[in-house]
Amino acid sequence: MPLTLKEYGLAYEPSGRSQAYGLYEPIADLNASKEKKVTQSDINQLEKYADRLFASLNIDVEFTKHFMDRVNDARNQKQITPAELTRLFKQSYKKYGKKIAKLGPDAEAVINDMQTDINMPFALKLDGQELDLIAKTVMRKKDFKTKGPKMSFEQFRNESLWANIHKKRQRIKQGSGEKMRKKGDKGAPTPTQLKRAKGD
């Protein structure tokens, strides 16, 4: 008759009951996230949403199998959520949609959300008369390095202009390589925006 797990452990450590059980007790991952893992259904819904966003630019969004594997990887430290991925596409389309379309076939770049530290390397491939934006992988990693173009954004709509200016100055001090825009530069806050921000 085969030994039970308890008997098997005691057979090797008859005098060390707690030590024997320790060989078989599952150890809880104290760093595990309480967030639910992203499912294939979540990715399918995200793809439909992203396709609708980029349709006006004649771009079709696709995801690799590796993207699905990496989105739930423990190396992300904190689970990436569907809401964060939706924000990633929404903000990248809003800020870089036309620029992405102009990159053309065979181009590669990285979309970077500095608020959540989520990075999504992608490639563009010509598919008939449209471009496929292929999301190759995704990861939550601060200060993600890449040799190609990096398209970054950070603002939440409810975050003040002054808070973003302060964060950018801090990143510059830490050697991010960014530069503060001067008055009148493209993308620099207008006097009206600055005045309004004082009330935030």
Least Cα distance to 117 among 76, 156, 176 occurs for 76
Least confident of 68-77, 123-132, 184-193: 184-193
Which residues form the domain of 58? 40-154
Residue 23: pLDDT over 60: no
pLDDT on residue 80: 96
Question: What does pTM read for this prediction?
Answer: 0.61
For 85-101, the pLDDT digits (tens) are: 999 999 999 999 999 99
Same domain, 5 and 53: no
Write out the DSSP string of the chain: -PPPHHHHHHHH-TT-HHHHHHTTSPPP-TT--SSPPPPHHHHHHHHHHHHHHHGGGTEEEEE-HHHHHHHT-GGGSS---HHHHHHHHHHHHHHHHHHHHHH-TT-EEEEEETTTTEEEEEEEEEETTEEEEEE---EE-TT---SS-EEEE---TTS-HHHHHHHHHHHHHTT----PPPTTSTTPPPHHHHHHHTT-
pLDDT on residue 2: 54
pLDDT on residue 19: 46
Same domain, 48 and 25: no
Tell me how many domains the chain contains: 2
Same domain, 143 and 69: yes
Same domain, 146 and 79: yes
> Is residue 161, in this structure, part of any structural domain at all?
no
Between residues 120 and 143, the one the model is more confident about: 120
Between residues 194 and 30, the one the model is more confident about: 194
Same domain, 26 and 63: no
Q: What is the percentage of the chain residues whose pLDDT exceeds 70?
A: 76
Q: What average pLDDT does range 134-160 have in this prediction? A: 82
> Is residue 112, in this structure, part of any structural domain at all?
yes
Between residues 190 and 141, the one the model is more confident about: 141
Between residues 117 and 23, the one the model is more confident about: 117
Q: What is the percentage of the chain residues whose pLDDT exceeds 90?
A: 52
Same domain, 21 and 82: no
Same domain, 150 and 85: yes
Gyration radius of the chain over CA positions: 24
Same domain, 58 and 95: yes
